[in-house]
Amino acid sequence: MKTEDELDAEIAKLFDEVTTTKVDMVNGKPRISDQATIDQMEREEAARRMEEACGLFLTREREFQRIAQHPRVVTDPQMNALWWDRLEAVYVAEKAVQRLFMGPQSTVADNKLYTRFRKLLLDGSKLRADA
């Protein structure tokens, strides 16, 4: 077992070492070679895309609900056409959220989880992880 003085000497030695890091530039940007950094950046980008898609979906859903509650939505052709346009916008926005959430190959379990997520999203509830 090392004494406290020996441990202190080792720690001091670590701080005395000089390490240099060479940063390669590719197209004017630093090249990232650390896989953990790359994974972290991809997770952050995926989270940003999901947040953006969810925000757009909620905006389109609110627009649709506002038009759907209008009293002339069935009788006025212009309002009816607007209703259909807003319905399509909701579909496109929700499909983007669904693809980001489930990926290209969805399962029944993924669909169940997505419907729970969608309900929480529309209700404005806080999302919690089930432990």
> pLDDT by residue (tens digit) across 60-118?
999 999 999 999 999 999 999 999 999 999 999 999 999 999 988 889 999 999 999 99
101 near 50, Cβ under 8 Å? yes
What is the torsional sign of CA 70, 72, 119, 98? negative
The rounded mean pLDDT for the chain is 84
Gyration radius of the chain over CA positions: 26
What's the average model confidence in pLDDT over 21-49?
78
What is the torsional sign of CA 103, 106, 108, 111? positive
89 near 66, Cβ under 8 Å? no
Strand pairing report for 29-30 and 25-26 = antiparallel
Cα separation, 80 vs 43, in Å, equals 41
